[in-house]
Structure 1
Amino acid sequence: MLLIMLELKQVNPLILFHKKVKAYIIAGLYQPTNICYPASGNNNHCRYFQSSWFKKFSSWLEYSPEKDAAYCLSCYLFGKHYGARNDGKNTFSELGFSNWKKVNNGVNCAFVCHEGSIPNSPHNLCVKSCDDLMAQSKHIDKVLDRHSDETIANNRLRGDDESSGSLNRENFIELIKLLASCNQNVHNVVLENAPENAQYISPSVQKDILHIFARKVRATIREEIGDSKFCIIIDEARDESKREQMSVVLRFVDKHGCVQERFFDLIHVSDTCSLTLKTEISSVLSRHNLDVQNLRGQGYDRASNMRGEWNGLQALFLKDCPFAYYIYCLAHRLQLALVSAAKEVCYVHQFFSKLTLIVNVMTVSPKRHDQLRVAQANNVANLIANDQIVTGSGLNQIGTLQRAGDTRWGSHLNSVRSLLCMFDATCEVLEKSTKEGNFSTRSDASAAYDAITSFEFVFVLHLMRNILELAQRLDVQECSLVIRERPANQPQYSLPTASQVAAIIVGDDIETMVRGRDIKVQTHTGNLKKIQEFVGYYDPLQYPLLFPFGTHGWDINTRTQRGNKVSCRTYYSYMLQERIMQKMLAEERYYHRRLWTVVET
Structure 2
Amino acid sequence: MTTWYELRQRMNSFQTIDKTTQRLIEQERDHWKGVLKRIIAIVKFLAKHNLAFCGSVEKLDEDNNGNFLGLIDMLNEFDPCVQEHVRRITDDNLQDKYLGPKIQNELILLLASRIKNQIIEKIKQAKYFSVILDFTPDISHQEQMSLIIRYVNVSSNFVSIEESFLGFLNVNDTTEQGLFDVLQDELKNLDLDILDVQGQGYDNGSNMKGKHQGVQKRFLDINPRAFYNPCSCHSLNLTLCDMANSCGKAKDFFGVVQRIYTIFANSTKRWKILKDNLKGLTPKSLSSTRWESHIESVKAIRAAMSDFIEALLEVLEKDLDPKIRSEAKSLATHELGDFEFIVSIIIWFDILSAINLVSKLLTVR
Structure 1 length-normalised TM: 0.37
1:250 partner SS: strand
2:336 paired with 1:455 = yes
2:90 paired with 1:193 = yes
Shift of 1:313: 0.9
Shift of 1:300: 0.9
2:144 paired with 1:245 = yes
Report if the CA contact (8 A) 1:230-1:295 is conserved.
yes
* Distance (whole Å) between structure 1 residues aligned to residue 169 and residue 322 of structure 2: 39
2:123 paired with 1:236 = no
2:19 corresponding residue in structure 1: none
Alpha carbons of structure 1 residues 271 and 205: separation in structure 2 relative to 1, 3 Å: farther
2:191 partner SS: coil
Report if the CA contact (8 A) 2:137-2:144 is conserved.
yes
1:258 corresponding residue in structure 2: 160
- The match for 2:121 among 195, 218, 223 is 223
Letter in 2 for 1:158: F
Task: Give matches, 1:484-499, under 5 Å.
Answer: none
Alpha carbons of structure 1 residues 190 and 229: separation in structure 2 relative to 1, 3 Å: farther
Task: Give matches, 1:377-526, under 5 Å.
Answer: 404-405=287-288, 408-409=289-290, 413=294, 454-455=335-336
Letter in 1 for 2:204: R
Task: Give matches, 1:521-532, under 5 Å.
Answer: none
Task: Give matches, 1:11-410, under 5 Å.
Answer: 156-164=51-59, 167-190=63-86, 193=90, 198-227=96-125, 228-239=127-138, 241-255=140-154, 257-339=159-241, 348-353=250-255, 404-405=287-288, 408-409=289-290
Letter in 1 for 2:124: G
Letter in 2 for 1:251: R
* Distance (whole Å) between structure 1 residues aligned to residue 354 and residue 249 of structure 2: 20
Report if the CA contact (8 A) 1:308-1:314 is conserved.
yes
Structure number, greater radius of gyration: 1
Alpha carbons of structure 1 residues 258 and 183: separation in structure 2 relative to 1, 3 Å: same
* Distance (whole Å) between structure 1 residues aligned to residue 356 and residue 91 of structure 2: 48
1:328 partner SS: coil
Give the aligned CA root-mean-square deviation in angstroms: 5.3
Report if the CA contact (8 A) 1:416-1:461 is conserved.
no
* Distance (whole Å) between structure 2 residues aligned to residue 162 and residue 219 of structure 1: 35
Alpha carbons of structure 1 residues 353 and 243: separation in structure 2 relative to 1, 3 Å: farther
Unaligned runs of 5+ in 1: 1-153, 363-371, 388-400, 436-445, 478-508, 511-601
Letter in 1 for 2:56: D
Shift of 1:283: 2.5
* Distance (whole Å) between structure 2 residues aligned to residue 322 and residue 307 of structure 1: 15
Letter in 2 for 1:221: I
1:188 partner SS: helix
Higher relative contact order (CA 8 A, sep 6+): 1
Report if the CA contact (8 A) 1:297-1:326 is conserved.
yes
Please list the CA deviations of residues 283-339 of structure 1 after superposition, one character each: whole Å capped at 9, or x if unmatched: 321111011111111011111111111211111211221211111112223333544
Richer in helix (by share): 2
Alpha carbons of structure 1 residues 188 and 342: separation in structure 2 relative to 1, 3 Å: farther
* Distance (whole Å) between structure 1 residues aligned to residue 64 and residue 98 of structure 2: 19
Please list the CA deviations of residues 158-213 of structure 1 after superposition, one character each: whole Å capped at 9, or x if unmatched: 35534557645443223333333342222332596385974444445444433333
Alpha carbons of structure 1 residues 379 and 448: separation in structure 2 relative to 1, 3 Å: closer
Alpha carbons of structure 1 residues 456 and 267: separation in structure 2 relative to 1, 3 Å: farther
1:521 corresponding residue in structure 2: none
Alpha carbons of structure 1 residues 346 and 291: separation in structure 2 relative to 1, 3 Å: same
1:311 partner SS: coil
Report if the CA contact (8 A) 1:403-1:411 is conserved.
no
Q: Percent identity?
A: 24
* Distance (whole Å) between structure 2 residues aligned to residue 177 and residue 238 of structure 1: 37
1:251 partner SS: strand
Structure 2 length-normalised TM: 0.56
Alpha carbons of structure 1 residues 325 and 213: separation in structure 2 relative to 1, 3 Å: same
* Distance (whole Å) between structure 2 residues aligned to residue 208 and residue 469 of structure 1: 47
Please list the CA deviations of residues 470-515 of structure 1 after superposition, one character each: whole Å capped at 9, or x if unmatched: 85576989xxxxxxxxxxxxxxxxxxxxxxxxxxxxxxx99xxxxx
Report if the CA contact (8 A) 1:244-1:271 is conserved.
no
Alpha carbons of structure 1 residues 219 and 402: separation in structure 2 relative to 1, 3 Å: farther
1:226 partner SS: helix
2:281 corresponding residue in structure 1: none
1:218 partner SS: helix
Task: Give matches, 1:535-554, under 5 Å.
Answer: none
